[in-house]
Each structure stands twice: as structure tokens, then as C-alpha cells.
């Protein structure tokens, strides 16, 4: 393996950018009483992925807030129906959704 930039993995996002995106996502979630939480999640996660390079290949995120919103409603209903038990699986389901919608940029 050569020691060029093409073979390295790194993250090129900045702290101030992350703080800004996090504040914006929190404000949107608060002002919409949680309805836009899936949008805030996809916005912040998309920013993180956009700034991630693995073995010289930049990642991209293809997930949409609308797609996550449908899953979010399903997960919420399942959590209510099971008296909170399904809530244990929500975080792993969310991670699976993120990975499914993340790939290498062309």
C-alpha cells in the first residue's frame, strides 16, 4: 500500500460546522415539536458522511428524510403497541438504515 492520499482514510469536517448543523437540527426539531426529527437526523448524518473518506474514496449518503419519517412512524407505533419493548431495537434499526443508504461516491 502506498503512502499517498488515495490510500488514506480521514474525516475533513470541522468542529464549528458540526456545532452549527447540530444547533440547526435541534432548533428545527424543537420548533416542529419533534415532527422534523427525522429530517434533522438525515441532515446531520449526511454532513458527517459527506466529510468521510475511506481508503481515498469519499462516502455519500442517499437516505431521505421522507423515507426515514415513514420508518420513524412505524417504529413509534411498534414501540407503543409493545409497551416500549420495541424501543430497544430502534437504535439498531436506525443504524441499519444509515448503512443501507451509505455508499462510495462515484
Q: Is the pLDDT of residue 1 over 70?
A: no
For residue 85, what are the contacts with CB-CB under 8 A and spacing of at least 6?
79
Q: How much is the pLDDT for 106?
A: 83
Q: How much is the pLDDT for 104?
A: 96
Q: Cell 420548533 sits at which residue? A: 31
| Tens of pLDDT, residues 42-91 | 999 999 999 999 999 999 999 999 999 999 999 999 999 999 999 999 99
Q: How much is the pLDDT for 93?
A: 95
Q: What is the mean pLDDT of the chain?
A: 92
* Predicted TM-score (pTM) of this structure: 0.82
Amino acid at each position: 500500500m502506498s503512502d499517498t492520499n488515495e490510500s488514506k482514510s480521514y474525516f475533513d469536517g470541522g468542529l464549528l460546522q458540526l456545532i452549527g448543523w447540530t444547533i440547526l437540527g435541534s432548533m428545527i426539531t424543537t420548533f416542529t415539536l419533534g415532527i422534523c426529527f427525522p429530517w434533522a437526523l438525515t441532515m446531520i448524518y449526511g454532513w458527517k458522511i459527506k466529510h468521510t473518506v475511506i481508503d481515498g474514496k469519499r462516502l455519500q449518503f442517499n437516505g431521505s428524510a421522507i423515507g426515514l419519517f415513514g420508518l420513524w412512524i412505524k417504529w413509534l407505533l411498534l414501540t407503543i403497541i409493545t409497551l416500549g419493548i420495541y424501543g430497544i431495537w430502534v437504535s439498531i434499526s436506525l443504524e441499519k438504515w444509515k448503512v443501507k443508504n451509505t455508499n462510495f461516491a462515484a
